[in-house]
Amino acid sequence: MTGFVDDTNSRTNCLLSNEIPSVEELIGKAMKDAQWWNDLLLSSGRKLEATKCSFHHLRYEFCPSGEPKLVSGVNFTPKINVKSVDGIVTPIKPVANYDDHKSLGCYKGPLGKLAAPKAVLVAKCKHYTQVLKGSPLNGREADMLETTFFKDTVLDSIESAPRRAALQKMGFRANTAKVICYGSWKLGGIEMFRLADKQGIGVIQQFLKH
């Protein structure tokens, strides 16, 4: 059972038993654990958000070679409920072992399949692709630098805000050293676009053209 209050995970098993416990026995123990966790939260002035809770029933079958195989649990939906102080019974959602559940923004499941996180990443990438295609910005925005002679310090102050914003979106610190921002990727740099380089190259090209 996973209780999403302080992101707590609870696991119930009978590891000391010489015999394999029945499904009903394990579910009973899991329900008791869930009720204890619910009561503990109430005693501390908090409350279990049952709508954000779920559980997987893990059961293994062993192949002739002795290799354990996790059963998907498609045709079995055990029930776990918690009861409030006023007697209201709230069911905890059962999740099949082939299904993933979302925890802290990540999708995880007992079988370790990546279908759910892959679908999320594909959807996000498609969205960002449309955002980029619909953007009015293009590579010609900085062409005016071909006829200017700004000092590097001036251009650096101009590009400082967008550079810091881009770094944060890429997962870097906003004040990452410039040698890393503009350095070659072969040396561990990011190779970000630099207005001073654009101006220098543009001025030289304009000189050679005329």
Q: Please state the rounded mean pLDDT for residues 23-46.
A: 83
Q: Please, what's the b/e burial string for 126-152 (b: 16 or more CB within 10 A of its CB; e: otherwise)? A: eeeeeeeeeeeeeeeeeeebbeeeeee
Q: Please state the rounded mean pLDDT for residues 49-72.
A: 81
Q: What is the pLDDT of residue 48?
A: 76
pTM of the model: 0.52
Q: Given the DSSP bridges, would you call strands 8-9 and 54-55 parallel, antiparallel or unpaired? A: unpaired
Q: What is the pLDDT of residues 158-190, one digit of tens each?
A: 888 888 988 998 889 999 999 999 999 899 999
Q: What is the pLDDT of residues 113-170, one digit of tens each?
A: 777 777 887 888 888 788 877 777 666 666 677 777 888 888 888 888 888 988 998 8
Does the pLDDT value for residue 210 go beyond 60?
A: yes
**154 Rama class: left (phi>0) / alpha (psi -120 to 50) / beta:** alpha
| Half-sphere CA count of 33, side-chain side, radius 13 A | 16
Does the pLDDT value for residue 3 go beyond 60?
A: no
CA angle, 97 then 99 then 105, to 5° = 120
7 pLDDT band, cuts 50/70/90, is low
Tokens of 171: 């997962």
Does the pLDDT value for residue 1 go beyond 60?
A: no
Q: Please state the rounded mean pLDDT for residues 14-19.
A: 79
Average pLDDT, the chain: 80
Q: Please state the rounded mean pLDDT for residues 64-69.
A: 87
**Other Cβ atoms closer than 10 A to 39:** 15
Q: Please state the rounded mean pLDDT for residues 40-64.
A: 80
Domain boundaries, the chain: 2-115, 143-209
Q: Please state the rounded mean pLDDT for residues 79-91.
A: 84
Q: What would the DSSP string read from start to end of the chain?
A: -EETTTTEE-----TT-SSPPPHHHHHHHHHHHHHHHHHHHHHTT----GGG-EE----EEE-TTS-EEE---TT----EEEE-TT--EEEEEE--TTS-EEETTEEE-TT---HHHHHHHHHHHHHHHHHHHT-S--TTTTGGGGG----HHHHHHHHHHHHHHHHHHTTS-TT--HHHHSS-GGGT------HHHHHHHHHHHHHHH-
